[in-house]
A and B are shown apart, each in its own frame.
Chain A
Amino acid sequence: MDRPNGITVANPLTLLDKYLGIVLQLVGQATIMFLQTMRYIFRGELSLSEAFRQANMIGLGSLYVVGVTGLFTGFAMSLQISKELAAFGADTAVGGVVALALIREIGPITAGVMVAGRVGSAMAAELSSMVVSEQIDALKIMRVDPVQFLVVPRFLAALVMMPALSIYSMFLGLGGAIFIAQAKANIPPETFLDSVKQTVVGTDFITHIIKSLVFATIIIFFSCSIGLSARGGAEDVGHATTRAVVWTMTIIFIVNYIITALSPLHAS
């Protein structure tokens, strides 16, 4: 990998073995960190002011990316669905179909992926550069547990902010969808909203919130454990940040399906 000289084709089995090793190690680290964090939270050993500051950063940092992507996802979804359904004379179903897709699948996954890219990568960057500049060592010498000091407030903040961001993204997406449905398929907003009300049920929102809480947990623990296990210099900070993005996104996609499959699904 370091030597990009000739192209050598790795044995797929060795590759799989390598990946499995990495995955197990990573999942192990993240799980241990999760347990340590939970212990601090249950004992109430936490700094709410730092958590508040982190929440502020997570929210502000993602406000715009999550908003823009949510809006344009709503546009794209609505464009195709409203035209298709309007052609069948099913104008009254458009709102429901779009809303269901946005609430159950596209909304949470889009927000999750964007927050992984924005917040997860920033945390991995921050923590790994603290490691390489020996700030983490300095904390340890002062007998401050980096998990308590750095991870706990970030986790609490993410648990609060992620559902908020996800719902915000979903509403922008719905707004975009209503706008496009009217502009491109002549479906009045009232028709659209009636259909939404008839179709969407409480459990859809619960699924949405559960997904966002789980994604927040994945993002925080994978990014933080990747960041804290970095070593070296500037180059390694870059590697750690990249790894955090790749792993959190992949795991979000996988876990998203698992939650979808487990959630009480109903048809519109």
Chain B
Amino acid sequence: MTSQPIPPSSLPSFSKASEPMIKVEGLRKSFNGREVLKGISFEVFPGEMLAIIGPSGCGKSTLLKLITGLLEPDAGKITLNSEQIGLVFQGSALLNSLTVRENLALALRERKLPKREQDKAIMEDLTLVGLADYIDSFPTQLSGGQQKRTSFARAIVNDPQIILYDEPTTGLDPVMSTVIEDYMIELEKQLHAAGIVVTHQFSTWTRTAHRAILLNQGVVVWEGKPHEALNSTNPYIIQFAKATREGPMLAGKV
């Protein structure tokens, strides 16, 4: 699968004329004296989807938590041009004690909409991810893919200007992965938000992102367009995209 050439993306276009929606400069973060992120910088423009790729444990989730403010950086600067952020968690993170409707209503709570409008927004949102019939189900009654889609719906119910995905397809079967990727592309068209998708799944970053950056050992080792990845001379991205043992990654670790 990974050896096939990557088609140039057919994603909605965006322009770099405006201000970047997300701007990250020189970000550093340590846990217990071990530096996980060693100075990361990038920008994401409205309508653009940036993929952050890299091996497990390289700090991708940490990066998203820094952007959403769940963690404080040790150094560096994060500038966001909007307050409206949607985050799709790696494990869905739906509140198990609430129904699908109540989970979504929680995200809308700050808007203080009248009940009718709130219900309408929730219904529209669920229809978009194909879960209108499950509005009064509990998260534990849904399959893994359905939970994932519900957490999508929760992330976008506020019409965010920034949408972040943490490994949206990891652990799903290939067919469900494609379904989720299609939803992501569909949302890019509809929302025109700035997006970041964190993943190590080949199909996900090559299909949904305009641009990708590769992290290794806390630094950016490659940046470029997904369809250029395999033609690159950068040994890191060649190794990562071809999933081979030979290369600079994990050197000395295995």
Contact = CB atoms under 8 A, between A and B. Distances in A.
Interface string B115-153: 000000000000000000000001010000000000000
B4 interface: no
Contacts of B97: 4
A46 B96 CA distance: 43
Contacts of A4: 97
Nearest to B141: A2
Interface in A224-243: 235
Interface in B142-195: none
A236 to B, nearest CB: 12
Nearest to A235: B96
A3 B138 CA distance: 8
A21 B164 CA distance: 48
Interface string A1-30: 011100000000000000000000000000
Interface residue range, chain A: under 10
A4 B97 CA distance: 7
B158 to A, nearest CB: 25
A3 B96 CA distance: 9
B229 to A, nearest CB: 36
Interface residues of B, number: 4
Contacts of A3: 138
Interface in A97-152: none
Contacts of A2: 138, 140
A22 to B, nearest CB: 21
A176 to B, nearest CB: 39
Contacts of B96: 235
A4 B96 CA distance: 10
A2 B95 CA distance: 12
Interface string B88-122: 00000000110000000000000000000000000
A4 B140 CA distance: 13
Interface string B32-58: 000000000000000000000000000
Contacts of A235: 96
A4 B95 CA distance: 12
A2 B139 CA distance: 11
A2 B99 CA distance: 11
A33 to B, nearest CB: 30
A3 B140 CA distance: 11
A8 to B, nearest CB: 16
Contacts of B138: 2-3
A4 B98 CA distance: 8
B89 to A, nearest CB: 15
Nearest to B102: A5
Interface in A220-268: 235
A2 B138 CA distance: 9
Interface in B76-96: 96
Nearest to A5: B99
A212 to B, nearest CB: 40
Interface in B195-212: none
B70 to A, nearest CB: 19
A238 to B, nearest CB: 12
A45 B140 CA distance: 43
Nearest to B140: A2
Nearest to A4: B97
Nearest to A3: B138
Nearest to B136: A5
A235 B96 CA distance: 11
A227 B135 CA distance: 35
A235 to B, nearest CB: 8
Nearest to B97: A4
A228 to B, nearest CB: 24
B130 to A, nearest CB: 24
A264 to B, nearest CB: 52
Interface of A: 2-4, 235
5 contacts: A2-B138, A2-B140, A3-B138, A4-B97, A235-B96
By Cβ-Cβ distance, the 5 closest A-B pairs, closest first, are A4-B97, A3-B138, A2-B140, A2-B138, A235-B96
